[in-house]
Amino acid sequence: MTPLLKVENLHQHFKISRNFTVKAVNGVSFEIYPGETYGLVGESGSGKTTIGRSIIRLYNPTDGKITFDGKTISGKLDDDTNKFLRKNMQMIFQDPMSSLNPRKKVGEIIGEGLDIHKLYTTAQEKNKIISEILKKVGLSPAHAERYPNQFSGGQRQRVGIARALVMQPKLIIADECISALDVSIQAQVVNLMKDIQDATNCAYLFIAHDLSMVKYISDKIGVLHLGYLVETGTTHEIFNNPIHPYTKSLLSAVPIPNPILEKKRKSLTYDVKNFNYAAGTMHHVGGSHFVLATDEDFKIWN
């Protein structure tokens, strides 16, 4: 099987001023197969959103190659490729308020993509599609008449989810898409995403910081730190045999919903100064499990 998305050696840098360039993403490579969910985790500022935005081409990658469904999408996009990309790849944005047009009703916002790509024949059908998707994300058809600012944070986040899902794309980049939802609605949305995946074989790049949810939804996981992919593998490999000290510290810090345990717990600390990521290369641990390390480090950790 060929991967749906292939990211090779992606670099994304931002020049802020003459003497300050943020190297947000540094040589990241991974693949996502159709029907698969790839969870991207890592600390705040590690480059997760940037990777998503580079893939969907909100940024021009500084370097590297991105292939989507057999087409190269990292260079200049011709009209056909651009159109193909807009229909088949959707992003659910981390900050729902700034990604929803405040002057449009939610029904119009969700219908926009349907209009552009003519995904219905009658107005009636369009309304039906919109009502259905609103119900599926736990909102009601009446919500189509409201404006984004008239929603709660979690309701707004679900508008963003509905807007992406309604297009039935091949790949959805879901950036912290359930972080503002209560656990019951998180479960509803995640179950819905799984059902849609079973039905349409779409793939997800699932960006999140909540490791218990990532564990639950992902087939594979990539751990990002300071713009470097420090470890990647199947969910089982990462959770049962984490190799990189950063991954270990991340796993040790997951809050446990138990007030007694939680109040006496200590997490592992991690000091990045002991590592030079740029000097490391990807080492094969086994299966699809890889870790970024120097040869010496790899010997010690393994």
Partner 1 sequence: MNENLILSVENLDITFKTNAGNIHAIRGVDITLPKGKTVAIVGESGSGKSVTMKAVTGLLDSNAVINGGKIFYHYDEKTVDLLTLTKKELRRTINGQHIAMVFQDPMTSLNPTMTIGAQIMEGMLLHQNISESDARDKALELLNLVGIVDDEKRFKNYPHQLSGGMRQRVVIAVALANTPKILICDEPTTALDVTIQAGILSLISDLQARLGISVIYITHDLGVVAKVADFVNVMYAGKIIERGTVDEIFFDPRHPYTWGLLSAMPDLETDDDRLYSIPGSPPNLLHEPIGDAFAARNKFAMKIDEKAAPPMFKISETHFAATWLLHPDAPKVEMPEELRKRIERAKLGSRE
Residues in touch with ligand ATP (CB under 6 A): 14, 16, 22, 24, 42, 44-50, 94, 149-155
Minimum CB distance to partner 1 smaller for 158 or for 283: 158
How far apart are CB 176 and partner 1 at their closest, in Å? 6
Which is nearest to 300 in space by CA: 272, 266, 274, 273?
Answer: 274
Q: Could you say whether residue 278 binds partner 1 (CB under 8 A)?
A: no
Backbone angles phi, psi at 12, to 5 degrees: -140, 115
Q: Given the DSSP bridges, would you call strands 220-225 and 37-42 parallel, antiparallel or unpaired?
A: parallel
Give me the 115-144 binding string for partner 1, x by CB under 8 A, dash otherwise.
-----------------------x-x-x--
Minimum CB distance to partner 1 smaller for 50 or for 88: 50
Q: Could you say whether residue 121 binds Mg ion (CB under 5 A)?
A: no
Give me the 14-53 binding string for Mg ion, x by CB under 5 A, dash otherwise.
-----------------------------------x----
How far apart CA 23 and CA 261 sit, in angstroms, is 38
How far apart are CB 214 and ligand ATP at their closest, in Å? 13
- Residue pair 241/247 in contact by the 8 Å Cβ criterion: no
**Which segments within the chain are labelled E, that is strand?**
5-17, 20-32, 37-42, 63-68, 71-72, 89-92, 171-175, 203-207, 220-225, 228-234, 281-286, 289-293
Which tokens belong to 163? 């807007």
How far apart are CB 294 and partner 1 at their closest, in Å? 23
Give 21-34 as a 3 state SS string: EEEEEEEEEEEECC
Minimum CB distance to partner 1 smaller for 41 or for 164: 41
- Backbone conformation region of residue 287, classed left if phi is above 0, alpha if psi is from -120 to 50, else beta: left
How far apart are CB 45 and ligand ATP at their closest, in Å? 4
Give 128-167 as a 3 state SS string: HHHHHHHHHCCCCHHHHHCCHHHCCHHHHHHHHHHHHHCC
Decide which of Mg ion, ligand ATP, partner 1, none touches 41; Cβ closer than 5 to 8 Å per partner kind.
Answer: partner 1
From 18, 79, 80, 257, residue interacting with partner 1 (rule: CB under 8 A): 257
Contact set with partner 1 (CB under 8 A): 14, 16-17, 20, 22, 41-46, 48-50, 94-98, 138, 140, 142, 145-146, 149-156, 158, 175-176, 179-188, 190-191, 209-213, 215-216, 249-250, 253-263, 267, 270
